[in-house]
């Protein structure tokens, strides 16, 4: 599929930072971001029913299955009705799997089979611009998907609080972090089938140790240790506290961990993609 080069000004403004190619260094991201997003939007119009169906229906099935089943055995969790507790958990798993899967499988496919990234980098685009544009698109899409379990949870009785409006912002940052981490992981495996091991052996256990389906209090100490370094858990705490209107000073730690994880994932993704694409 042919792509037009992003339009860049013929001459940089006076005093603007200039890269090696002679183009302005600071605003260079915007044409690349716009071009990648345009391509993604055109593709999304073709396959959105298949992608959207899985990303929306799966968390709703979990909500119905676990909510109807366990609510008869468990009245509440952390002082909240169990269906509401689980529904907020599904918000996090929805953004996690939608962004991580896209970051791993889609980026691997485009890099190794379609050689799309080679074509993009033949234009005046750097690796960091490509990674940022791809991950930001995945983050926005995943955050939109995660709003559906949130709306369902509100419909089944979750009280509205002003801090509830922060949930989409948190999931947007989380989606960016998980997408970048997925892109980095895609550069580590020798074949695409190895990514299934990452899903089963890493993501699923981390979800179990994140407090999505049940509170972590009262579990063995080693689970608490895993949760302390588990970015999914910190995202879970931020989303749950924002949804329930119980944000406090302790959530600054969760926010700091999520922000640090995002920055580290960006550097790792850019480095991994650079190594794979140029070596």
Pairing outcome for strands 80-81 and 76-77: antiparallel
Residues 6+ apart with CB under 8 A from 206: 226, 230, 232
Nearest Cα to Cα of residue 208 among 222, 189, 188, 192: 222
> CB-based contacts of 13: which residues, under 8 Å, 6+ apart?
24
DSSP 237: H
In contact, 209 and 216? CB cutoff 8 Å: yes
pTM score of the predicted model: 0.83
pLDDT per residue as tens, the chain (279 positions): 444 444 444 444 444 444 443 344 444 567 778 888 888 888 888 877 777 776 677 777 777 777 666 766 777 888 888 888 989 999 999 999 999 999 999 999 999 998 989 988 888 888 999 999 999 999 999 999 899 899 988 988 899 889 999 999 999 999 999 999 999 999 999 999 999 999 999 999 999 889 888 888 877 888 888 888 999 999 999 999 999 999 999 899 999 999 999 999 999 999 999 999 886
Query: How far apart (Å, rounded) are the C-alpha atoms in residues 59 and 96?
Result: 11
Question: What whole-number distance in Å separates Cα of residue 109 and Cα of residue 121?
Answer: 16
* pLDDT value of position 219: 78
How high is the pLDDT of residue 54? 67
What DSSP element (H or E) covers 215? none
Report the alpha-carbon angle 27-177-31, nearest 5.
20
- CA–CA separation, 12 vs 49, rounded Å? 43
Q: Please state, in angstroms and rounded to a whole number, the distance separating the CA atoms of residues 239 and 100.
A: 18
Residue 67, both tokens: 């909510």
pLDDT of residue 165: 93
pLDDT at 11: 43
- What does residue 19 show for φ and ψ, rounded to 5 degrees? -85, 180
For the chain, how far is it from start to end, CA to CA, in angstroms? 24
Helices (H), 71-166: 82-101, 107-108, 116-121, 127-155
User: What is the pLDDT, as a whole number, of residue 279?
Assistant: 64
Cα Rg of the chain, angstroms? 20
């Amino acid at each position: 599929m042919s792509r037009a080069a992003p339009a860049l000004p013929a001459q940089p403004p006076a005093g603007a930072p200039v890269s090696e190619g002679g183009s302005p260094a600071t605003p260079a991201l915007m044409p690349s971001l716009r071009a990648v997003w345009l391509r993604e939007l055109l593709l999304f119009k073709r396959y959105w029913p298949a992608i959207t169906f899985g990303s929306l229906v799966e968390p709703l099935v979990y909500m119905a299955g676990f909510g109807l089943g366990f609510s008869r055995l468990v009245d509440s969790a952390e002082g909240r009705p169990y269906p509401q507790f689980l529904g907020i958990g599904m918000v996090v798993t929805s953004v996690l799997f939608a962004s991580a899967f896209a970051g791993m499988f889609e980026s691997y496919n485009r890099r190794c089979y379609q050689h799309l990234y080679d074509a993009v980098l033949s234009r005046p685009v750097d690796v960091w611009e490509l990674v940022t544009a791809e991950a930001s698109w995945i983050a926005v899409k995943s955050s939109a998907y995660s709003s559906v379990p949130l709306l369902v949870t509100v419909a089944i009785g979750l009280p509205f609080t002003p801090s509830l409006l922060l949930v989409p912002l948190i999931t947007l940052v989380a989606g960016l972090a998980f997408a970048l981490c997925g892109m980095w992981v895609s550069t580590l495996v020798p074949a695409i089938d190895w990514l299934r091991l990452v899903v089963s052996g890493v993501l699923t256990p981390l979800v179990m140790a994140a407090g999505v389906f049940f509170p972590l209090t009262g579990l063995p100490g080693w689970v608490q240790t895993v949760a302390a370094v588990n970015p999914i858990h910190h995202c879970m705490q931020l989303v749950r506290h924002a949804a329930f209107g119980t944000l406090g000073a302790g959530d600054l730690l969760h926010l700091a961990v999520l922000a640090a994880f995002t920055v580290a994932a960006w550097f790792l993704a850019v480095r991994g993609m650079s190594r794979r694409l140029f070596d």
